[in-house]
Structure 1
Amino acid sequence: MRLFLLVSLTMAAFAANSILSRLAIGGGHMDAGSFGLLRLASGAAMLVVLCQVQGLAVRQGLRASLGGGAALTLYIAGFSLAYQQLDAGLGALVLFGVVQVTMFLWGAVRGNPVSAGQLAGAVLAFLGLAYVVWPDGSGATPLGASLLMAAAGLGWGIYSILGRGAAQPLAATAVNFLWSTAMFLPVALWLGGSTVSFYGAVLAVLSGAVTSGMGYALWYRLLPQILPAVAATVQLSVPVIAILAGAALLGETVTLRLLFGSAAVLGGIALVVLRAPGRKAQPAKRTAG
């Protein structure tokens, strides 16, 4: 029961990143550039503290740091800019779907065995995403913002692929957050935003230090205790939590289009996970948030 509660808490923390970002950026309490920068900086600070508490050296090779930092910067930039317009639940669905499809396609390109069920699942997930974000004339789903979130998903997918072999994932994440903070600074300056309220800053720090930094730390501690297939499958709950929380806390509308698209995306990803050849031997994946 304790493990179940901790896993549930971690998934809720990852979903909360979408709620906090949408609340701060979409609500006009903080501009996207400033929010992303403060989220990265506070996340880096928390991760460094957690590494020190655990006696881990905060270091990583330069090549890995540059790659991880750049991928993380792409994720934060796309994520923050997309939530100027996207609903929290829709954003989480697009992000999660693109991350999982990216990692699946990379594995296929690298020669990993692919079953017919996995291929069908990947196609179903892609079609579900296309159905959700395709303009229907109502303006309810901004295509530009959806593409920005897709870029964020690509960034996190690359980040996850690069970090699979990290001996100390918590320390590697701390280093990557530090590098990404430096990389994102010119992006924030280029965006030129100037909206920084106290409330927005609090939301950014919560997203960086708590739901990202502490959330990632807790997830890495839990991963050795659960099967890789379970770790991958349980992440299906993140977009669902974000959709429900967005409706309850932000008053976002849950349309039939979103419900059908979500069912297709999450069902397709479930097929990819559960139909993987030799899936019990596969390493657990990092989640998106």
Structure 2
Amino acid sequence: MKRQFIFLGVSGFLGLMILGIWASVEAESQPVPPKFSIIKNVAEFNLVIDKKPISASDVKAIDELPDPRRIILGGDDRIPMTSRKNPWSAVGKIEMLDANGNGYSCTGTLISENEVLTNAHCIVNPETRKAYQRITFLPNLINGVLRDQNDIAYGTHVAIGTNFPTETLKDFVDDWAVVKLNKPLGKKYGHLKLKSIPSFDLVGDTEQFALVGYSGDFPNPKKEGFEKLTAGESMTAGVHLGCSILRQKDNLLYHNCDTTKGASGGAIIGQIGSDYYVFGLHSGSNKVNGLLLNRAVNISRIR
């Protein structure tokens, strides 16, 4: 199925009908606009997506805790991701800069040696439809600290599912992006597999999924149990273990995983056997029949 994408250059967006878009991003200099080249198929990224059918009973709760203390406060089920082990080591913070030098952040997950999965709206501003100028990936950031400062990586090419042409909720059905990095971080930090199955097979109050995200309100070092996380909000990822994908509507998934801004692009992870898979991609929230719900992109939309 064809989708509408836009070619970005110095002069702005030019309307074109294509199936994907690559963005060459100037990583080291600012503020140089990215140079875009068009590809005909996202398969040129060599993504590996597992499409083998499974049943809900095949997915089990993740056995590797993100934090051995497992602190849960009040009605917020997020706990700090302080583990350097798989699958948590594959998750990192994405930082973006626009042409005016303003900074933004999202969450990304390594899905190959040098590719990160995140949201399209973390690459292109949906309101201006302009691409951010620089994409930086900070792998397994914990309390503002990396395992190795030399592992800071920059995006060199980007494939996105949408550039938000209609400015409606319909655009967010394809709110995915794959960022190619200038370093093979997946060799060191590991990477997660992508699992594509029909939406109806994902829906259910299974409490078997986990969502990881660098939310802008988490962790608060002033709260009991978080005192040692002195770097503050968005400098340690929050993980909601045991959440569910509860419904599907208009090609979007809706889940009950705790999250806020900054967690965009966060992976909804499940475990099959000893392997960890990304089943969905947190994209934000919107009202459904008057109720505000967290939404997600189905991995099957990446094609």
Superposition TM-score tier, normalisation by shorter sequence: under 0.3
TM-score (norm 2): 0.24
- Relative to its length, the structure with more helix (as a share) is 1
